[in-house]
Amino acid sequence: QQPVQSPQAVILREGEDAVINCSSSKALYSVHWYRQKHGEAPVFLMILLKGGEQKGHEKISASFNEKKQQSSLYLTASQLSYSGTYFCGTGAGYTGGFKTIFGAGTRLFVKA
Amino acid sequence: GAGVSQSPRYKVAKRGQDVALRCDPISGHVSLFWYQQALGQGPEFLTYFQNEAQLDKSGLPSDRFFAERPEGSVSTLKIQRTQQEDSAVYLCASRDRGPNEKLFFGSGTQLSVL
């Protein structure tokens, strides 16, 4: 089942902070975060593998609350280069395999 | 290769035509995925291969869609009798063996059915 992302879109001024949320009705085994710029391939940001785990990438960090079945992506002191669409992906495991299901995305626009 | 390579980059087809989209994953990557991305939407899972075995094809929209990976490396997604609703970007991604490894995406094939 597809994870739900919020908000759908965010407009920021350079230097402002933002939070993007990802929640699932099913138990989460892992959460991936990707960023996609217009016309380009999604690019991996980070993966969180267990509840409570937090990770960081430059000024972008994420947390994973296993009990609440949700993850949040934190962008601090945003830069123009942060503009793009952010997708969370949740891991779905089954016999013999493991696939990633993506949310609909959060569009982030950072202006000068 | 250095990254996941997809071809063609753009494909225009007349309704009813058959198309074949190619994906060349990162060398040695065991897992390969196909996703369909409609304009303004997230990637939607189509199918998944582990080596040459197609483990999951639950996301294929209809029996007009067919994917193969005969030698466990290059994969082809074939769409028969294309319809306008098939217009989308088709993304291929590969992953190393572990289920918690990141996905490497290709740039996609943008399919337009007229």
- Give me the residues paired with residue B105 across strands: B93
Give how far the C-alpha of residue A61 lies from the chain's centroid of Cα atoms, to the nearest Å.
10
User: What pLDDT was estimated at residue B21?
Assistant: 98
Chain A to chain B Cβ contacts (< 8 Å): 61
Contact at CB, A41 and B91, closer than 8 angstroms: yes
Going by pLDDT thresholds of 50, 70 and 90, the confidence category of residue A17 is very high
Going by pLDDT thresholds of 50, 70 and 90, the confidence category of residue A64 is confident
Chain B CB contacts of A104 under 8 Å are 41-42
Interface of B with A (CB under 8 A): 4, 31, 33, 35, 40-45, 48, 50, 55-56, 91, 99-100, 102-108
Average pLDDT in chain A: 88
User: What pLDDT was estimated at residue B37?
Assistant: 96
User: What pLDDT was estimated at residue B91?
Assistant: 97
What are the helix (H) ranges across chain A?
none
For chain B (114 residues), the mean pLDDT of every run of 10, in chain order, is: 90 97 95 94 94 92 96 96 97 83 92 97
Is residue A27's pLDDT more than 90? Answer: no
Going by pLDDT thresholds of 50, 70 and 90, the confidence category of residue A25 is confident
Chain B CB contacts of A48 under 8 Å are none
What is the arithmetic mean of pLDDT over A77-85? 95
User: What pLDDT was estimated at residue B94?
Assistant: 95
Q: Is the bond preceding A42 in cis, omega lying within 30 degrees of 0?
A: no
Least CB–CB distance from B56: residue in A2, A99, A102: A99
- For chain B, say whether A34 makes contact (Cβ under 8 Å): yes
At B107, phi and psi to the nearest 5?
-75, -10
Distance from CA of B99 to the nearest CA of A (A): 6
Contact at CB, A41 and B42, closer than 8 angstroms: no
User: What pLDDT was estimated at residue A48?
Assistant: 86
Of A90, A85, A92, the closest CA to residue A102 belongs to A90
DSSP β-ladder status, A106-111 and A9-13: parallel
User: Quick one: DSSP state of residue A26?
Assistant: S
% residues pLDDT > 90 (chain B): 88
User: What pLDDT was estimated at residue A54?
Assistant: 66
Contact residues for A8 (Cβ-Cβ < 8 A; gap 6+) = A104, A106, A107
How far apart are the C-alpha atoms of A101 and B93, rounded to whole Å?
13
Q: Are A26 and A35 in contact (CB under 8 A)?
A: no
Going by pLDDT thresholds of 50, 70 and 90, the confidence category of residue A99 is confident
HSE (side-chain half, CA atoms, 13 Å) at A15: 1
How far apart are the C-alpha atoms of B34 and A42, rounded to whole Å?
13
Is residue A56's pLDDT more than 80? Answer: no
- For chain B, say whether A7 makes contact (Cβ under 8 Å): no
